[in-house]
Amino acid sequence: MAALGTTVATTVATTADGRKLVVRAGVAGDARAVRDLIDAVAGEPDVPLLATPGSIGLRDVKGLIGRGARDPRSLFLVAEVAGEIAGDLGGSGLPFAPSAHVFEFGMSVGARYRGLGVGSALLEQTIAWAATAGFTKVILSAFPHNTRAIAFYERHGFTLEGRRALQFCRAGRYLDELLMGRPVGSPLRPGA
């Protein structure tokens, strides 16, 4: 269960190419830039996101940002590089009591910001927050063809937990879903 009043710290770092990187809680004023980022990533030819360009509206993004601000079991972060939104990460604790210890998230990083530490900064901030909020596991899903993302998550301690065949249909193409997870905070023991 998440600790009430858990706040999101703002972190400042430097990207691999020497620019200022800020990871912070998203605010309503970020919604348009986040939506545009998601549209850009969703429109990439290798399809790294389930969303399609234009499928997530401004109201949807504002809702996610608002939920992250008011719900102690939810989080919405943005990463800024030199003042421009370069990435986002949002998620929430699972709603069912037997899995209330699990935080599920999704993230996107703009193509020109990949490999610079933006995704790592978002992920590290999320893992620290999740542990402080009382979660003991974080999970995500990825498409099998997104090998760069899978390798990234594996470098950050995630392991493959399962595969759901033909789980999504995007633009007439059926896609499998890989399930990945890692423990945070208190160690997990199967059957404990």
Predicted local distance difference test score (pLDDT) of residue 5: 45
Predicted local distance difference test score (pLDDT) of residue 52: 80
Structure tokens at 54: 């234009």
102-109/137-142 β-pairing: parallel
> Which stretch of DSSP H or E encloses residue 31?
helix 31-42
At residue 44's C-alpha, the angle toward residues 164 and 173, to 5°, is 40
Inform me whether the pLDDT recorded for 147 exceeds 90. Answer: yes
Predicted local distance difference test score (pLDDT) of residue 50: 77
Give the domain ranges of the chain: 11-183
Q: State the Cα–Cα distance between residues 130 and 58, nearest whole angstrom.
A: 26
Contacts of 112 (CB under 8 A, 6+ apart): none
Phi, psi dihedrals of residue 35, rounded to the nearest 5°? -60, -45
Amino acid (1-letter code) at residue 96: F
Inform me whether the pLDDT recorded for 133 exceeds 80. Answer: yes
Inform me whether the pLDDT recorded for 173 exceeds 50. Answer: yes
Q: State the Cα–Cα distance between residues 7 and 77, nearest whole angstrom.
A: 12
112-147: burial string, b at 16+ Cβ within 10 Å, e else: ebbebbbbbbbbebbbebbbbbbbbbbbbbbbeebe
- Cβ pair 124, 9 in contact under 8 A: no
The 8-class DSSP code of residue 157 comes to T
Q: State the Cα–Cα distance between residues 142 and 160, nearest whole angstrom.
A: 10
Q: State the Cα–Cα distance between residues 166 and 176, nearest whole angstrom.
A: 5
Q: State the Cα–Cα distance between residues 118 and 56, nearest whole angstrom.
A: 22
Superfamily (CATH) of domain 11-183: Gcn5-related N-acetyltransferase (GNAT) (3.40.630.30)
Predicted local distance difference test score (pLDDT) of residue 190: 67
Structure tokens at 68: 């992250």
Q: What percent of the chain stands above pLDDT 90?
A: 81
Predicted local distance difference test score (pLDDT) of residue 2: 44
Which tens digit of pLDDT belongs to each residue from 84-132?
999 999 999 999 999 999 999 999 999 999 999 999 999 999 999 999 9
Q: State the Cα–Cα distance between residues 130 and 91, nearest whole angstrom.
A: 10
Which tens digit of pLDDT belongs to each residue from 157-166?
999 999 999 9
Q: N- to C-terminal Cα distance for the chain?
A: 17
Predicted local distance difference test score (pLDDT) of residue 114: 96
- Cβ pair 126, 88 in contact under 8 A: no
